[in-house]
Amino acid sequence: MSKLGIFDVAVRYGKVPALSDVSFTVEEGERLFISGPNGAGKSSLLKAICGAAPTSHGRIEVDGDVLNGRSPEAIARLGLTMVPEGREIFGTLTVEENLRVGTGIRRDKAAIETDIEGVYESFPILGERRHANAGALSGGQQQMLAIGRGLMTNPKLMLVDEPSLGLAPNIVDQVYETLVNLQDDRGLTLIIVEQSSARAARVGGRMVLLRGGTVVGDGDAAKFAESDLLKEAYFGQDQSEEAT
């Protein structure tokens, strides 16, 4: 089971509040989009969950384990993995080395090799270039590698920050297809930050809408796409919706 609970969470950078009074829960196997305009606190929320940003208030729990105050490496051991904004792959390491970085936390050493082959099956291009420096991959391939690298930690819950950032639309389609397939195969819980609510609606799932660091909407992504709530959240920031 991997139920994520976020209770009254606040994050601040110095005196600047990034998130306040954020509460929601995510059920096991659910697909949740976090959407909202620039500066709404989407990335801050993800960072707070995975331990990369400290919370100033509130509680984050996975299956009853409180995450606040734990180090990122301790949180990774609880089965959470992060596919960060901008991919953050290790450019000087080879593709295969990138996949192995996250396997240090696993007890089932025997399964690691089969899982690496599994990643290569899902992403054949990574298999072809397994000994190449990851920095030489294209943006789309790096996104695949970042997802594969996260999978190698054998997670229950995967956080994906802006997977479509800087990628061509057809590549974004592929990325989402992969994510949905992975979820179906492994029963992963997925939390995806996606600025384009239209994209979220097309992929389907639940959506939490953030604005100004607080939750302003929570419901089915497809219904949101037509509602006024979304326009309110973006509040005239039409350029944020250019992807629609």
Partner 1 sequence: MNAIPQLLFDALSLGGIYAMAALGIALIFGVMKLVNFAHGEYIAFCVFALIVPSTDAVAVMFLGKAPAILLIPMLLLIGAVVAVASEFFVFRHVRNATPVAMMISSFALGFVIQNTLLLIYSSRPKAVSLWPELNQPVSIIGASIPLLQIIVIFTTLLVVVTLALLLKRTRIGLEMRAAAENFTMARLLGVRANVVITGAFALSGALAAAVALIMVTQTGVADIRMGGQIMLVAFIATVIGGLGSLPGAVAAGFLIGAASVILQGFLPLEARPFRDAFLYTLVIVSLLLRPDGLFAPRSTKPRV
- One residue of 1, 13, 121, 138 binding partner 1 per CB under 8 A: 138
**What Rg, from alpha-carbon coordinates, does the chain have?**
18
Nearer to partner 1 by C-beta: 24 or 90? 90
**Does position 129 bind partner 1 by CB under 8 A?**
no
We find the least distance from the C-beta atom of residue 105 to partner 1, in angstroms, to be 4
We find the least distance from the C-beta atom of residue 224 to partner 1, in angstroms, to be 28
Spell out a b/e string for 195-226, using b for 16 or more CB atoms within 10 Å of the CB, else e: bbbbbbbebebbbbbbbbbbbebeeebeebbe
**Does position 97 bind partner 1 by CB under 8 A?**
yes
**For the chain, first and last CA: distance in Å?**
35
What's the number of CA atoms in the CB half-sphere (13 Å) around residue 159?
23
- The DSSP letter of residue 205 is -
- One residue of 18, 50, 188, 230 binding partner 1 per CB under 8 A: 50
Identify whether the C-beta of residue 32 lies closer than 8 Å to the C-beta of residue 191: yes
- One residue of 82, 200, 207, 209 binding partner 1 per CB under 8 A: 82
**Does position 102 bind partner 1 by CB under 8 A?**
yes
Q: Which residues bind partner 1 (CB under 8 A)?
A: 50-52, 71-73, 76-77, 81-82, 84, 86-93, 97, 100-102, 104-105, 135, 137-139, 142, 149-150, 153, 166
